[in-house]
């Protein structure tokens, strides 16, 4: 398994990214991927947040579940961003498969006293409205059931610009990575800093 640790501080807040090709830097160098760009930005801003990018191209939710326990034991992350499910949908898996698997992933994270951050996933529009709705509704449903936040799909601002997408219409280009980086910086810092402030305020 390719494991890219962008940076690791002994006393840093640690964010593990459990994702697929959308976070792994598909068809580009690891240095160009949005997690690496975001880590560089946080280093410059002295955010003291360490990103462990364990994303692997082609991963399904079941692949993520299989590799999660040793990652939790090794890195003991404070937060885990779950960016999985697109490949389940593209392969036509029954919606119950990603639903049950994502639920198990969240439970493992919570059992380790870590915070799960669930990325809303969108799949191509040619899979039929009924199937798309069943897959994409998994995320708000799990948010309510497992008390985890759902982050907006990070390709929302990219898909509308064809020049930022590869010919397959699924994967973003290297030129799209700074756009994703900017969005994820705002979303992740808003959540993480809110949590850190709340913890500091506790007696």
Rounded distance, CA 189 to CA 175, Å? 23
203 within domain boundaries = no
Catalytic residue (one of 10, 29, 168, 197): 168
What global pTM score does this model have?
Answer: 0.92
202 within domain boundaries = no
DSSP single-letter state for residue 147: T
Task: Read off the pLDDT of residues 118-163 as tens digits, 9 standing for 90 and up.
Answer: 999 999 999 999 999 999 999 999 999 999 999 999 999 999 999 9
Range of the domain at 124: 4-197
Query: How many degrees, rounded to 5, is the angle at CA 150 between CA 98 and CA 134?
Result: 40
pLDDT value of position 12: 86
For residue 143, with 0-12 CB atoms within 10 Å meaning exposed, 13-18 middle and 19 or more buried, which class applies?
middle
84 within domain boundaries = yes
Task: Read off the pLDDT of residues 54-94 as tens digits, 9 standing for 90 and up.
Answer: 999 999 999 999 999 999 999 999 999 999 999 999 999 99
Q: How many domains does the chain have?
A: 1
Q: Structure tokens of 148?
A: 């985890």
Name the residue with tokens 């946080």.
42
CATH number at 185 reads 3.40.50.1110
> Would residue 171 show up in a list of annotated catalytic residues for this protein?
yes
Q: Quick check: 165 and 151 in contact, CB under 8 A?
A: no
Least confident range from 4-13, 149-158, 176-185: namely 4-13
> Would residue 21 show up in a list of annotated catalytic residues for this protein?
yes
Average pLDDT score over residue span 9-13:
67
Catalytic residue (one of 4, 21, 23, 55): 21
pLDDT value of position 202: 62
27 within domain boundaries = yes
pLDDT value of position 4: 44
**pLDDT category of residue 194 using cuts at 50, 70 and 90:** confident
């Amino acid at each position: 398994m390719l494991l890219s640790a962008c940076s690791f501080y002994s006393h840093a807040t640690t964010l593990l990214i459990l994702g697929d090709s959308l976070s792994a830097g598909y068809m580009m160098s690891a240095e160009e991927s949005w997690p690496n760009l975001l880590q560089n930005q946080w280093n410059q801003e002295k955010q003291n947040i360490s990103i462990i990018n364990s994303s692997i191209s082609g991963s399904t939710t079941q692949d993520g579940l299989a590799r999660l326990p040793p990652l939790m034991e090794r890195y003991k992350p404070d937060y885990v961003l779950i960016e999985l499910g697109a490949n389940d949908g593209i392969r036509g898996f029954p919606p119950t498969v990603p639903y049950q698997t994502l639920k198990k992933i969240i439970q493992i994270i919570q059992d380790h006293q870590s915070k799960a951050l669930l990325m809303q996933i969108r799949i191509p529009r040619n899979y039929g409205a009924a199937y798309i709705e069943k897959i994409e509704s998994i995320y708000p449903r799990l948010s309510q059931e497992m008390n985890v936040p759902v982050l907006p799909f990070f390709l929302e601002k990219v898909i509308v610009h064809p020049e930022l997408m590869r010919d397959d219409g699924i994967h973003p280009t290297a030129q799209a990575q700074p756009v994703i980086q900017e969005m994820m910086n705002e979303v992740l810092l808003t959540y993480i800093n809110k949590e850190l402030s709340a913890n500091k305020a506790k007696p």
